[in-house]
Amino acid sequence: MNAEISISKNQTIAPIDKRIFSSFIEHMGRAVYTGIYEPGHTTADKYGFRTDVASLIRPLNLSHIRYPGGNFLSGYNWLDGIGPKDERLMRADLAWSALEPNEVGTDEFLQWCERLGIEPMLGVNLGTGTPQSAVDLLEYVNGDLPTKFANLRRQNGHEKPYNIKLWCLGNEMDGPWQICMKTAEEYGRIACETAKMMKWMDPSIELIACGSSFYDMPTFGSWERTVLKHCYRYIDYISLHQYYQNNDGDIPSFLSRSLEMEEMIHKIAVICREAKMEQKEAHDIALSFDEWNVWYHFQKSGQQPPKWTVARPIEEENYDLADALLVGCMLNTLLRNADTVKIACLAQLVNVIAPIMTEPNGRAWVQTIYYPFLYLSKYGRGTSLRLSCESAQYDCTIRKNVPYLDASAVLNLDGICTLFLVNRNQTEALNCTIYFNQDWDYVQEWISLSGNDSAQRNDADHEPIKPQARECPNTKDGILTIDLPPSSWNMIRLS
């Protein structure tokens, strides 16, 4: 099996927006309670947040964390989560059939982010919420006037505005599963009016309107056109969401899914450009891929934890090597589309469809998918390079001509070129020839994630799937030849 890549530092796509290395925490399952927050835990800080979890989050170097949902957002009254904790009341969370104690709310989350040096990306409820409740939350968070909600924030102990810049106008409002779902017309109107009011309150913010919940939604495309017709002028981004499944164990098809993700991005980018022309607007609408991941293991297992508990343990995926490879391909897709995708959130961060897992009152550990994200976030900064790739291909159940090689490359700020390469072939190594002229001299580092079996997983006791440093091959006359192991994710750094 062979592949060829040509690369030059002059062939660029776009600077990579640091916000594509973002994640998501929802009040869902054990993401918050016994995830990031567990006051009785041995590692809890004085605010009740687990420092063992924080120490696994920190290396991910996240730009933003989206909060508080997700489907939870569409039934959430933010007023329930502020003020003295002993006065906060338990509420029924209809999105996830769980109890929400409101011990963590806006202030706790924003201050936790401040301590971690990560920027929050907040959502306003456009399910049961109104334009007014959205503006009131914005005033509470960013307000600097001597007005009701800004004063309430001061009274609750935060004198200065938090100055949160990124705001989501609801969540997945096209989905029948959403609390108070809307038609595209209904959502477009309320998003427009909410956006207007929010920007009048704080012109410095940026707004993300809801796009389709996933590619196979019957209204994919027409939803975006209608929403943009109503609110183009007032928004800055439109969202994309997508999770992939491997229910029937068809790994070749599963690993081809990132090509579909790329199609999605291209289609929505075209719709945004067309809407700009049609409406004669001056600014571009960029893409916020604010939920993406692999998600199927828990649903496949058929587990149904009892309803109406706090920290109901739902959607706790245990990811395998194949999942990490697809996550690597999805990250490559984001880098290759750095010209249009400016924000992306790995959904989610802790316990719920997450790279980081915790035991209640116990250990915290990382899953296979943690590693591609870790390295991309560390070394995927700079300018995305346009590669010319030729690879042996395969046909699978859902697609023909899938390249075995999936690749992206970044010109880092220090001039190093970092390549991220996935070999989708499960049984054979991919002999890869990389032509890079004289732009770089030698291979500084080669890290790979691989294993004998694509179904291998990590858990709190065992970590069979973890990155291995490999011996750096020599280059000759601006050419590198390298054998990418079967079922592998790789990072190669050229100096």
Contacts to ligand AHR from residues 234-263, by CB under 6 A: none
Q: Which of residues 38-77 bind ligand AHR (CB under 6 A)?
A: 69-71
171 binds ligand AHR (CB under 6 A): yes
Kindly tell me which residue out of 172, 174, 316, 406 binds ligand AHR, with binding defined by CB under 6 A: 172
Amino acid identity of 261? M
Q: Is 471 a catalytic residue?
A: no
Residues 319, 302: Cα–Cα separation, whole Å: 16
Phi first, then psi, for residue 167 (nearest 5°) are: -135, 135
Number of Cβ atoms within 10 Å of the Cβ of 77: 13
- Least distance CB 36 / ligand AHR (angstroms): 15
- Spell out the SS3 assignment of 159-210: CCCCCCCEEEECCCCCCCCCCCCCCHHHHHHHHHHHHHHHHHHCCCCEEEEC
**Binding to ligand AHR in span 264-323, by CB under 6 A:** 291
Q: Quick one: tokens of 73? A: 């957002």
Residue nearest ligand AHR, CB atom distance? 70
- In the region spanning residues 107 to 146, those forming contacts with ligand AHR, defined by CB under 6 A, are none
For this structure, is 206 an active site residue? Answer: no
Among 26, 38, 139, 291, the one annotated catalytic? 291
Minimum distance between the CB of residue 300 and ligand AHR, rounded to whole angstroms?
16
Among 345, 347, 385, 432, binds ligand AHR (CB under 6 A): 347
Residue 174 binding ligand AHR, by CB under 6 A: no
For residue 55, the minimal CB distance to ligand AHR (Å) is 24
Task: Answer positive or negative: Cα dihedral of 47, 48, 52, 56.
Answer: negative
CB of 29 to ligand AHR, least distance (A): 9
Q: What pairs with residue 5 in β-bridges? A: 389, 434
CB–CB of 124/194 below 8 Å? yes
Task: Out of 23, 63, 348, 391, name the contact with ligand AHR by CB under 6 A.
Answer: 348
State phi, psi for 12 to the nearest 5 degrees: -110, 155
Q: What is the 3-state secondary structure (H, E, C) of 372-424?
A: HHHHHHHHCCCEEECCEEEECEEEECCEEEEECEEEEEEECCCCCEEEEEEEC
Whichever of 299 and 495 has its CB closer to ligand AHR, that residue is: 299
> Judged by CB, which is closer to ligand AHR: 69, or 485?
69
Name which of 347 and 410 has its Cβ closer to ligand AHR: 347
Helix extents (H) in 279-311 = 297-301
Tell me if 449 sits within 8 A of 465, measured CB to CB: yes
Q: What is the DSSP letter of 39?
A: T
| Least gap, CB of 76 to ligand AHR (angstroms) | 11
Q: Name which of 327 and 405 has its Cβ closer to ligand AHR.
A: 327
Site for ligand AHR in 408-467 (CB under 6 A): none
CA 474 from chain centre, in angstroms, equals: 36
Q: Given the complex with ligand AHR, which of 69 and 486 has the nearer CB atom? A: 69
Q: How far apart are CB 350 and ligand AHR at their closest, in Å?
A: 12
Q: Which is closer to ligand AHR, CB of 7 or CB of 28?
A: 28
The gap from C-alpha 420 to its chain's centroid, in whole angstroms, comes to 18
Sign of CA dihedral 334, 340, 343, 345: negative
Site for ligand AHR contains 384 (CB under 6 A):
no
Position 291, amino acid: E
Distance between first and last Cα of the chain: 27
Q: How far is the CB of 307 from ligand AHR (least distance, A)?
A: 17
**C-beta of 246: minimal distance to ligand AHR in Å?**
17
- Residues 22 to 41 in contact with ligand AHR, rule: CB under 6 A: 26, 28
Q: Which is nearer to ligand AHR, 5 or 25 (CB)?
A: 25
Q: How far is the CB of 107 from ligand AHR (least distance, A)?
A: 22
Contact 365, 221 (CB under 8 A): no
Applying CB under 6 A, the site for ligand AHR has a residue count of 10
Nearer to ligand AHR, 31 or 134 (CB): 31
Please choose, from the candidates 193, 174, 195, the residue with its C-alpha nearest in 3D space to the C-alpha of residue 184.
174
Strand-pairing partners, residue 393, are: 403
Burial class (CB in 10 A: 0-12, 13-18, 19+), 94: middle
**Out of 38, 172, 315, 317, which one is annotated catalytic?**
172
Nearer to ligand AHR, 143 or 175 (CB): 175
Catalytic residue numbers, as ranges:
172, 291
Which positions touch ligand AHR (CB under 6 A)?
Answer: 26, 28, 69-71, 171-172, 291, 347-348
